[in-house]
Amino acid sequence: MNKYTDVLIIGAGLSGLMAAAKAAEQGKEVMLVAKGMGAVGLSSGCIDLWGYNLEDPNQVCQDPLAEIARLCAVNPQHPYARVRDVLEESLLFFRRVCQENGNPYLDHRGGNWLLPTALGTLRPTYLAPASMAVGDLQQVRGVLVVGFRELKDFYPDVLAANLKKSGVLQADCPLNTLMVCAGGGELTPNTLAYRLENPAVVDRIVDQIKPHLLPGAVLLLPPVLGERWDSQVAKNLAEKLGHPVYEVTNIPPALPGQRLQQMLLHHVKGQGVEVVIGCTVNGARVADKRCTEVLATGAGKPIKISAKTVILATGSFLGGGLESKPGKAWESIFGLPVETGHEKWSARDFLSMAGHLFNQMGIKVNEHLRPVDKTGEVIIENVMVTGANLAGCNHPIEKCGNGVAVASGYKAGKLAGEVGE
């Protein structure tokens, strides 16, 4: 089986979906293949740009865009240095797509939001879906943390105790917890979210919450308020209670990341992109520094795909884009080089503030996102690399994973759109 397309994107994560949306918008024929669902569905659903100060990693960064500009000056190897020219444009594009699909993403006056997590810690992020965008907690006159009896992995008392300790609330701010029942059983976040799409269930929740509401209180709930990206559950709940309601971030599987993924998939399909999930690309033919076709299999059947541009959005080690054995790492489809250095790949502590070296490993690219060798020479001219595959960022501690994905995916899609006939 042979397939032909203008732009082939490998990977269904955030950078792949952004690349698909941008290339399709420019009228290109786009195909997106992925061996499974991308990791954006496992993410918090927020878009982190840059979390902490460069000089003082204990301080939350107040102006991520300015901080990234400084970062590019001190660390020109960081992926942001390759996409800085389109960074703001890419964020506008992302927000426009979200807005048009009824899933608006909000910024916090150009700074970082400080959003509560299920553990009651506060995490900085740049863009948050409306259902998660809790304003300044310093200002609130009361907090009610609501959990569901059916749901594991969310304990209101833990959230409340740590939130109190964080000192973000005013000293006299009442902080209460409540467990409500959504019909019984032991549910996954998805099953609970499905149940909450039923207005009668929401009404029963409202009845349980109302007696515990203090004037001016803000409600914090686990991220299960609605299945789809355009769900109205959080909004309806807030209206019925007459109080603001927010979802906090929680461990996967959480709905906000899934909603973002489903929305972007739905959007690109609507743009005419052919999306094939469950199709694994395992190799490629390259001649004269050009990829002539990639070799894939779907349920065992070989498929050859030829494209003018190939965008490699395969997601580092977790997504299978990079592979390794002791002392050696490489890119899995084209065999592109991955520098490993001579230091230890991981730090002794799992949660080391210095991060793990393996997270920084990846493919070196030039300003057009083309893979380059040690001397800066382009290795394959019609291949671009995006997202977690890019060398030089340590996203778990820098809080920049989704930001790099949005900007690099957008840039690759834009450049692919400019490739002539």
Residue 253 interacting with another protein (CB under 8 A): yes
Nearer to another protein, 194 or 345 (CB): 194
Residue 171 interacting with another protein (CB under 8 A): no
**Minimal distance, residue 58 CB to another protein, in Å:** 31
Binding residue for another protein (CB under 8 A) from 25, 26, 42, 212? 42
Task: Name the amino acid, one letter, at 245.
Answer: V
Closest CA to 9 of 276, 189, 372, 209: 276
Residue 201 interacting with another protein (CB under 8 A): no
Residue 102 interacting with another protein (CB under 8 A): no
Residue 266 interacting with another protein (CB under 8 A): yes
Q: Checking DSSP bridges between strand 290-298 and strand 279-287, what pairing results, if any?
A: antiparallel
Residue 199 interacting with another protein (CB under 8 A): no
Nearer to another protein, 258 or 408 (CB): 258
What CA–CA distance (Å, rounded) separates 354 from 312? 28
Binding residue for another protein (CB under 8 A) from 22, 35, 259, 395? 35
- Give the footprint of another protein on residues 135-164 (CB under 8 A): none
Binding residue for another protein (CB under 8 A) from 53, 188, 232, 271? 188
What CA–CA distance (Å, rounded) separates 183 from 419? 55
Residue 54 interacting with another protein (CB under 8 A): no
Check residue 156 and report its DSSP letter.
H
Residue 298 interacting with another protein (CB under 8 A): yes
Q: Which residues of 292-320 are buried (b: 16+ CB within 10 A; e: fewer)?
A: ebbebeeeeeebebebbbbbbbbbbbebb
Residue 278 interacting with another protein (CB under 8 A): yes
Continuous segment of H or E residues that includes residue 88: helix 87-100
Residues 202 and 196: beta-carbon distance below 8 Å: yes
Residue 301 interacting with another protein (CB under 8 A): yes
Residue 324 interacting with another protein (CB under 8 A): no
Report residue 219: phi and psi, to 5°: -100, 135
Residues 6 and 309: beta-carbon distance below 8 Å: yes
Among the listed ranges 118-126, 170-178, 268-276, 354-362, the one in contact with another protein (CB under 8 A) is 268-276
Report residue 209: phi and psi, to 5°: -80, -40
Half-sphere exposure (Cβ direction) of 18: Cα atoms closer than 13 Å: 33
Q: Is the link from the previous residue into 253 a cis peptide, with omega within 30 of 0? A: yes
Nearer to another protein, 301 or 374 (CB): 301
Nearer to another protein, 39 or 294 (CB): 39
What CA–CA distance (Å, rounded) separates 341 from 97? 39
Residue 41 interacting with another protein (CB under 8 A): yes
Query: What's the start-to-end Cα distance of the chain, in Å?
Result: 24
Residue 64 interacting with another protein (CB under 8 A): no
Binding residue for another protein (CB under 8 A) from 2, 328, 343, 420? 2
- Token readout for 211 is 């007696």
Residue 38 interacting with another protein (CB under 8 A): yes
What CA–CA distance (Å, rounded) separates 210 from 240? 10
Among the listed ranges 96-104, 182-190, 332-340, 377-385, the one in contact with another protein (CB under 8 A) is 182-190
Among the listed ranges 50-58, 276-284, 343-351, 372-380, the one in contact with another protein (CB under 8 A) is 276-284
Contacts with another protein by CB under 8 A lie at 1-3, 31, 34-39, 41-42, 185-191, 194, 227, 252-253, 258, 266, 269, 274-280, 297-303, 318-320
